[in-house]
Amino acid sequence: MSLPHPFRLETFGEVTSTNDIIQARAVDGEAEGLVVTATAQTAGRGRRGRSWSSPAGNLYCSFLLRPRPLKNDHPGTLSLVVALSLAEAIGDPARLKWPNDVLIGGAKVAGILLEMLDDSLTVGMGVNIVHAPGHTPYPVTSLAAEGIDRRCDALLAQFLDCFARNYASWNREGFSVLRDRWLDRAEGIGSTVRLRHGERIHEGRFLALSADGSISIEHEGRIEQYSAGELLWHKTDA
Ligand code: BTN
């Protein structure tokens, strides 16, 4: 597979977590751009300490970045850039749920987990290619269930092409130049949402995404800005 600079691929069979492999290599001084995939994971992890169901057939991939954000930008905006690139690689039906879930028809089809260790950022992506896990606190789907026939390696190559371009823009000009494309795919803007921020849940109208990647939520005439948290908009979301 020919990959855009600086990406290079190593493939594995069953592993604990592709994020573990990237983190170990980062500690050993590996340069930015190593990409690792596995056919299955025995200890796949998701956000908020959840586990990530990882049977063979779906895409499990992690890659190493050593980001140097521009002065006014925030490394957290990279998670929006990863999600945007993945949605662009999947194509039209893919939508974005702040900060970095990819949805089709309101159901989650992919998740992204960023883990920072010193100056290294491990980006882990799980995409439901053929399996959607059961028993999740939110609706889930797979590309196959949505009638999208895509192999793991083809999707990864398309993603890396999109991400390499978007990452170059982010490095040169920051997130603000990608914001409109993120907004074109955003779900929930203008609607009432609940946001879990730490242990608290805030409810209000999701107004906008700022150039620094944070969102504004209006409640009883007061506008609050949040740069982290999790949007909950299904009654079952927990
Ligand atoms: C989420 O909770 O939405 C994030 C899920 C991230 C899962 C991927 S699968 C590849 C990589 N390895 C892991 O252990 N987690 C990420």
Residue with tokens 């001084």: 29
61 Cα: distance to centroid of ligand 1 (angstroms): 8
- Return the pLDDT at 212: 85
8-184 shares its CATH topology with 192-237: no
pLDDT of residue 76: 79
Residue 237 has a pLDDT of: 56
Cβ–ligand 1 distance for 123 under 6 Å, the answer no
Domain boundaries, the chain: 8-184, 192-237
Cα 219 to ligand 1 centroid, rounded to whole Å:
32
**Listed residue (96, 22, 118) closest to 62, CA to CA:** 22
The sign one gets for the Cα dihedral 168, 169, 172, 176 is: negative
Residue 60 Cα: closest atom of ligand 1:
10
Q: How confident is the model at residue 83, as a pLDDT?
A: 97
Given the CA of residue 17, which atom of ligand 1 is nearest to it? 14
220 Cα to the center of ligand 1, angstroms? 36
168 CA → ligand 1 middle, Å: 24
Q: Show the low-confidence residues of the chain (pLDDT under 70).
A: 72, 233-238
Q: For the whole model, what pTM was predicted?
A: 0.93
Topology (CATH level 3) of domain 8-184: BirA Bifunctional Protein; domain 2 (3.30.930)
Tokens of 173: 């000009």
CATH 2.30.30 matches 192-237:
yes
